[in-house]
Amino acid sequence: MKTSDKPTAHILIRANTNSEWDCCEFALIDLSEDWSKLQAKRLEAVKPFKDDYNFQSMRFYDGSVEFFQSGDEEPDMEELLAGKEWVFVELDDDEQDELTPPENSLDFYKIVISRGGNARYEAFGKHTNEEFYTIEFPLQQLTEQTINNC
């Protein structure tokens, strides 16, 4: 896995869980032209609430994310992130398959989009209801970057 200054097909992003026994330190979000177009439509749905301070967020089912925990074989996430919250990354063939997922079987994936155009991904343990989530990221900016580079 290598970081990139230019938009790529994936971003590496900090993540966490509220589980007392499971781990989650990062996630990979799959970006594509279709993903960018869909997020742009969702951002349009949130736009009328931009100045409504009583509005919190809209939630959409979205499985474009995979959560992982740091394992012995994984690259050093702190080194890759270099103090940032998320970075574009390039993955080698099958590299994503070699990463260590959380112990929980995750279900009910969704993206939560706030009125300001930021978002975060969430998923829940299938049998535990424990929450797994990314940090908030600038969906508006990311969508524009990926649309312009597809």
Give the C-alpha separation, 48 to 114, whole Å: 12
pLDDT at 33 over 80: yes
pLDDT tens sequence across 73-110: 666 788 889 899 999 999 988 888 889 899 999 999 99
Contacts of 52 (CB under 8 A, 6+ apart): 115
Question: What is the residue range of 37's domain?
Answer: 2-149
List, for residues 123-137, the tens digit of each pLDDT value.
999 989 899 999 999
pLDDT (0 to 100) of residue 78: 83
How many C-beta atoms surround the C-beta of residue 48 within 10 A? 10
Q: What is the pLDDT of residue 75?
A: 66
Bridge partners of 16, per DSSP, are: 133
- The count of other CB atoms within 10 Å of the CB of residue 50 is 10
The structural domain count of the chain equals 1
Is residue 150 pLDDT above 70, yes or no? no
pLDDT of residue 30: 94
User: Is residue 17 very low, low, confident or very high in pLDDT (cuts 50, 70, 90)?
Assistant: very high
Measured CA angle at 118 (ends 30, 55), to 5 deg: 135
16-20, 28-32, 96-100: least confidently modelled range: 96-100
Backbone angles phi, psi at 101, to 5 degrees: -80, 165
**pLDDT tens, 45-76?**
999 999 999 999 999 999 999 999 987 666 67
